[in-house]
Structure 1
Amino acid sequence: MSERLQAARPDGTSATVWLGFLAMCVGMFMAILDVQVVATSLPTIQSALDIDPDQMSWIQTAYLIAEVVAIPLTGLLTRLLTMRWLFVVAIGLFVTASAGCAASGSFGALVAWRVLQGFSGGTLIPSVFTAVFILFPNARQALATTIAGVLAVLAPTVGPVVGGWLTQTYSWHWLFLINILPGLASAVLAARFLPRQATDPSELRHLDGLSLLLMATSLTSLELSLKEAPTSGWTSAYVLSLLALCLVSGGIFIRRTLRRTRPVVDLGNFGDRNFLVGSVLSFVLGIGLFGSVYLMPVFLAFIRGHDALEIGMTMLVTGIAQLITAPLAVALEKRMDARLLSAAGFALFAIGVGMSAFQDPRSDYDAMFWPQVVRGVAIMFCLLPPTRLALGTLPADRVPDASGLFNLMRNLGGAIGIALIDTIIYTRAEPLGRSLWASLQAGDIEAAAFVGVPLQAISGHSGSFDADAAALLDPLIQTAASVQAINEAWLIVAILTGCALLCVPFARRPAVADEPALH
């Protein structure tokens, strides 16, 4: 396998190589964008298909579960189909599933197509990062990683804009139809320009079906437990049973995998110190990146009352900052120690997240501008150097499996981060509201200013409010308490993001982009 991949590596300078790689990036961008554009328009889809509100979340959950199961299988599928045909098949299925989603006339049909869409889309992201280290020599990897990284983090940022505009201008069907033409174009270009390699049917003969089932069971139960825990409670019987199933099936999977010579997923990659550190950084980035992209729409929609298009326009600040910073990130990544750049990136990202922990009910675009700029500048340094740490020094035959695990860690970090955020918001809003009531009854001027209550409204109320005053204050206090809970979530995410700095010193110094490759 190693010899096949090495022989397929071009010199990294020809236009055909870049065309094939850019085609892969387009497919990846559409897969990531799809999650966000659908999320912004779930109420519209619910109304159109008459879906029960309690079932609506399954439109996203079905996609995310299928995606997280597919991501670690990228290595196996790459060995079986080759990188070229894996991408072509995956993007072809993604386009087919997108058309099926658009044509769905019922909830069941839509969820079924979303499962296929999620599974096929899940292989596209790690395939792109695999291509970076297989198609290009060290001198070109920084630029290729930047292109892939910019598109990977830009898609969640522009998703609300695209989703809101499509829904308002056309219909919800176009949330899926927009995938078809770019997807077909990227499939044709990839089939034409990506290097040709021999397939390896022997992978099917050695496939450990039980390990595959155990891995899928473990990841599915984990995703479901994280989805239900914030509302049902982390100690509920349902959540605890899902977590137990995850641990048992995951433990058996790990034991079987480590004993096999041709495992479904090569967990031995975690034995490489740099890959382990890079994967931890990827996990933490998932918490910060997914968490910030989740918290902003929550605040803007439920506190400020903005629609999807307005939310998207506000969040574009992060995307613009990323694009402006990308050339600088490429230049520095070629010349500086990846460990130093990673530490600087995560420190800056933690500061940017922490800057959002001081919002009040009146915060809007202006208050969110500079925190978004700081996070946008930091993101590229949280993605590019850790990717080089994790994948840049591995032999070529280990990169496909490693890329799947590396990207899986980011998705798992995001899932856990969002579950933690929801838990904080659900559990902390009520006690914070009681505290605000007590502060206002005590005549606290700072609390009144935060809630947005005129001082004369609380003066003369020693210890209690009459019915009219309480009715006037209650919605203001509930909103303010939600803001405080959201601020606490921002602060927790900032602290967790900053914890990434603790693992950076354990990494070995990898070669910078201009040095010879070590494959």
Structure 2
Amino acid sequence: MSVELEAARPDRTPAIVWLGFLAMCVGMFMAILDVQVVATSLPTIQSALGIDPDQMSWIQTAYLIAEVVAIPLTGLLTRLLTMRWLFVVAISLFVMASAGCAASGSFGTLVAWRVLQGFSGGTLIPSVFSAVFILFPNERQALATTIAGVLAVLAPTVGPIVGGWLTETYSWHWLFLINILPGLASAILAARFLPKQAADPSELRHLDGLSLLLMAAALTALELSLKEAPTSGWTSAYVLSLLAVCLLSGGAFMTRTLRRGRPIVDLGNFGDRNFLVGSVLSFILGIGLFGSVYLMPVFLAFIRGHDALEIGVTMLVTGIAQLVTAPVAVALEKRMDARLLSAVGFALFAIGVGMSAFQDPRSDYDAMFWPQVVRGVAIMFCLLPPTRLALGTLSADRVPDASGLFNLMRNLGGAIGIALIDTIIYTRSEPLGQDLWARVQAGDIEAAMFVGAPAEIMSRHSGSFDADTMATLDPLVQTAASVQAINEAWMVVAVLTGCALLSVPFARRPARHEAGQ
């Protein structure tokens, strides 16, 4: 693949390159935002289209499966179309699919458009991160990574408030229509300002169709199993069958890919120690980042009863902390060892996640403020230095494939993290509720205070409750048990996030002159 970019020519100014890159960032932001704004308004879409409740989740699942299949194909598509035209084609298809979603009048039509939307959107994130190391010299890569990183993690944070406001102010159609104008603008700017590269049509002749099918089958089966396991059970026949398909297809894919001279995905990148460590960090960040963005709305919606707009306002704290920290992260990343910054970032992020593991049924904005600040400050140090470790020392022709794998690891971490969280909530709520009932009936004042039992009930407690008292306390106990299960999920995510520290010492210190070569 040719990497002789016009960005290196004297007639192409840095400002023009930045315009093209910023256009890519806007497209990436819209693709990530789309997932969150749709998630917050699924009940509205379900009601409008008359979708059965048990089918509603497919609106998201169809998108996520298509996205996770597309992400590792970014390298292949970049070689085939070039970075410039891959982005233009992908964002154009994303815009078309968004318009199709908005115009859908049935469940089947909407899901079909969501598949196209997910596949086209899936290539945008890795394309942006590979552009950082292809378009810019070493001294500008930290700033470019920060811009891309801030937008990548800000989109899920502002998603609830955008989705809630659009649904309440206009209609669910605008969840998709908001993608059209920014998407078209970014396509035009990217086509105009991104540097030209030489395409490699021979990639199409060498395309390994069987490997592609095996990879798609493995990733699809994994996503479906993670979606179903928390409710159906990890040992159910359906989930075990899906996991078996994933293992068999994945094993066959890896065996076939490692033997081919021109594989559709270059798994050989994992042979680079820094890329392997960076990918592990990306996987763990996915658990922590997706997990925290998932747990907060669950608590605020089901425990506190807030709507999407109120949830979005609460979660803005994380986004503001990220924006404030970004310039500091850029300055430190230029001066300090990426391994040290990664360790500090993940340690801080683990602490921020762990701080949320002590909530009670009355916790709200004030109790969530400082944990969000700590996580918001940490996120940039969990994203910027690991990206440098993973991609910063690879040659430019390896970056697109590596970026796809790097971003795939984060998405898989998020999917596994959410499945683990759901499993904890579903399986632990009932036994925790039984334990709380036993403690409250035994007169445990601490348990009664946690549950929020009225003082007058506990004051006349004499060893047992009558039917009316039981009916009064039952919803309080069930809610408190859910809070305890959510707290356990927070703590598990915190521990897993902290495990990132174990991998950091295995990385080599990246030499500055190597980056981007």
TM-score by length of 2: 0.98
Partner Cα distance (2:53, 2:440) in 1: 36
Partner of 1:337: 337
Partner Cα distance (1:391, 1:491) in 2: 31
Per-residue deviation, 1:83? 0.1
Partner Cα distance (2:444, 2:420) in 1: 31
Q: Does 1:149 align with 2:149?
A: yes
Partner Cα distance (2:257, 2:82) in 1: 22
Contact 2:133 2:516 in 1 (8 A): no
Partner Cα distance (1:516, 1:101) in 2: 44
Partner Cα distance (1:401, 1:8) in 2: 21
Deviates more, 1:4-13 or 1:39-48: 4-13
Partner of 1:481: 481
Contact 1:100 1:113 in 2 (8 A): yes
Kindly provide the amino acid, as one letter, of the partner of residue 46 in structure 1: Q
Partner of 2:136: 136
Partner of 1:225: 225
Partner Cα distance (1:462, 1:262) in 2: 76
Partner Cα distance (1:6, 1:462) in 2: 83
C-alpha distance 188-247 of structure 1, shift in aligned 2 (>3 A): same
Kindly provide the amino acid, as one letter, of the partner of residue 309 in structure 2: L
SS at match of 1:449: helix
Q: Does 1:406 align with 2:421?
A: no
Q: Does 1:387 align with 2:409?
A: no
Percent identity, aligned pairs only, is: 88
Partner Cα distance (1:239, 1:458) in 2: 45
Contact 2:5 2:195 in 1 (8 A): no
Kindly provide the amino acid, as one letter, of the partner of residue 151 in structure 1: L
Contact 1:445 1:455 in 2 (8 A): no
Per-residue deviation, 1:457? 1.1
Partner of 1:80: 80
Equivalent runs, 1:5-84 vs 2, <5 Å: 5-10=3-8, 14-84=14-84
Partner Cα distance (2:516, 2:153) in 1: 28
Q: Which runs of 5+ in 2 are unaligned?
A: none
Partner Cα distance (1:400, 1:53) in 2: 39
Partner Cα distance (1:145, 1:434) in 2: 49
Kindly provide the amino acid, as one letter, of the partner of residue 222 in structure 2: L
Partner Cα distance (1:463, 1:295) in 2: 36
Contact 2:5 2:196 in 1 (8 A): no
Partner Cα distance (1:504, 1:302) in 2: 37
Per-residue deviation, 1:516? 6.3
Partner of 1:103: 103
SS at match of 2:397: helix
Contact 2:394 2:515 in 1 (8 A): no
Partner Cα distance (2:102, 2:423) in 1: 33
1:244-271 Cα offsets, whole Å, 9 max, x none, are 0000000000000000000010000000
Partner of 2:190: 190
Contact 2:104 2:110 in 1 (8 A): yes
Kindly provide the amino acid, as one letter, of the partner of residue 223 in structure 1: E
Partner Cα distance (1:198, 1:396) in 2: 14
Partner of 2:506: 506
Partner of 1:471: 471
Contact 1:279 1:406 in 2 (8 A): yes
Contact 1:161 1:313 in 2 (8 A): yes
Partner of 2:165: 165
Kindly provide the amino acid, as one letter, of the partner of residue 432 in structure 1: L
Partner Cα distance (1:249, 1:167) in 2: 40
1:418-468 Cα offsets, whole Å, 9 max, x none, are 000000000000000000000001110100110111333124434421100
SS at match of 1:5: coil
Equivalent runs, 1:221-260 vs 2, <5 Å: 221-260=221-260
Partner Cα distance (1:462, 1:437) in 2: 15
Partner of 2:181: 181
Partner Cα distance (2:407, 2:17) in 1: 23
SS at match of 1:17: helix
Contact 2:4 2:197 in 1 (8 A): no
Partner of 2:376: 376
Equivalent runs, 1:200-219 vs 2, <5 Å: 200-219=200-219
Contact 1:9 1:134 in 2 (8 A): no
Per-residue deviation, 1:66? 0.2
Contact 1:125 1:407 in 2 (8 A): yes
SS at match of 2:3: helix
Partner of 2:437: 437
Per-residue deviation, 1:384? 0.2
TM-score by length of 1: 0.98
Per-residue deviation, 1:202? 0.2
1:52-90 Cα offsets, whole Å, 9 max, x none, are 000000000000000000000000000000000000000
Q: Does 1:317 align with 2:317?
A: yes
Q: Which runs of 5+ in 1 are unaligned?
A: none
Kindly provide the amino acid, as one letter, of the partner of residue 131 in structure 2: A
Partner Cα distance (2:398, 2:6) in 1: 15
1:11-57 Cα offsets, whole Å, 9 max, x none, are 79611100000000000000000000000000000000000000000
1:196-231 Cα offsets, whole Å, 9 max, x none, are 112111001100000000000000000000000000
1:250-300 Cα offsets, whole Å, 9 max, x none, are 000000000000001000000000000000000000000000000000000
1:297-353 Cα offsets, whole Å, 9 max, x none, are 000000000000000000000000000000000000000000000000000000000
Kindly provide the amino acid, as one letter, of the partner of residue 8 in structure 2: P
Contact 1:442 1:462 in 2 (8 A): no
Partner Cα distance (2:511, 2:44) in 1: 50
Partner Cα distance (1:319, 1:493) in 2: 20
SS at match of 2:508: coil
Partner of 1:303: 303
Per-residue deviation, 1:366? 0.3
Partner of 2:363: 363
Contact 2:37 2:163 in 1 (8 A): yes
Partner Cα distance (2:158, 2:8) in 1: 33
Partner Cα distance (2:444, 2:221) in 1: 47
Contact 2:157 2:315 in 1 (8 A): yes
Partner of 1:292: 292
Partner Cα distance (2:16, 2:491) in 1: 46
Kindly provide the amino acid, as one letter, of the partner of residue 95 in structure 1: V
C-alpha distance 518-472 of structure 1, shift in aligned 2 (>3 A): closer
Partner of 2:453: 453
SS at match of 2:263: coil
Partner Cα distance (1:167, 1:252) in 2: 45
SS at match of 1:80: helix
Kindly provide the amino acid, as one letter, of the partner of residue 413 in structure 1: G
SS at match of 2:478: helix
